Amino acid sequence: MRRNKNINRTAYDAKMIAMDQDVYKLRRKVMDVIYEVKRNGYKIPRVEVRIVEDGQEDVMGYAYLNENIVHIKREYTNCENRLVHLVLHEIVHACKGFGHDENCYLMRSVIPRNVSVENSWKAFSKYF
Ligand SMILES: [Zn+2]
């Protein structure tokens, strides 16, 4: 029987965290953003969410283009505005296949200071 030792290496040297109750809660927060996307009428496929930890310090999350999987670093799930922005950003990578655009509020490679989710949602809508 294992407890939390089931660690898989993923991209950027981040480790997938085995699902325990805490991680499940974090994943739930990410899912809530995805449900909000759907509630707002955007058609996206089913997205798989993975909570990861460690790895490159500056990476907050990542997704492979068009793969419908988003990876979110555990430590970035605690600030709501930042999390919404991050999840929307990764959804555009994962579901729409767009890379970074430094002129886009949402898809620039670095997260804006004091994220305004209103701006994030507005920028998100341009990809649909
Ligand atoms: Zn990105």
Delineate the domains of the chain, giving CATH numbers in brackets: 8-125 (3.30.2010)
| Residue 40 CA, ligand 1 centroid: distance in Å | 22
For ligand 1, the distance from its centroid to the CA atom of residue 85, given in whole angstroms, is: 11
- Residue 44 gets the label, from left (phi > 0), alpha (psi -120 to 50) or beta, of beta
Cα(84) to centroid(ligand 1), Å: 14
pLDDT attached to residue 3:
32
Share of the chain above pLDDT 90, in %: 57
Ligand 1 centre distance from Cα of residue 47 (Å): 16
Q: Which residues of the chain, if any, have pLDDT below 70?
A: 1-13
**51, 14 Cβ separation under 8 angstroms:** no
Distance 128 CA to ligand 1 centre (A): 17
**DSSP structure class, residue 12:** G
pTM: 0.86
Q: Cα(41) to centroid of ligand 1, in Å?
A: 23
pLDDT tens column, 35-52:
999 999 999 999 999 998
Torsion, Cα of 77, 19, 12, 83 (10° steps): -10
In angstroms, what is the span from residue 21 Cα to ligand 1's centroid? 28
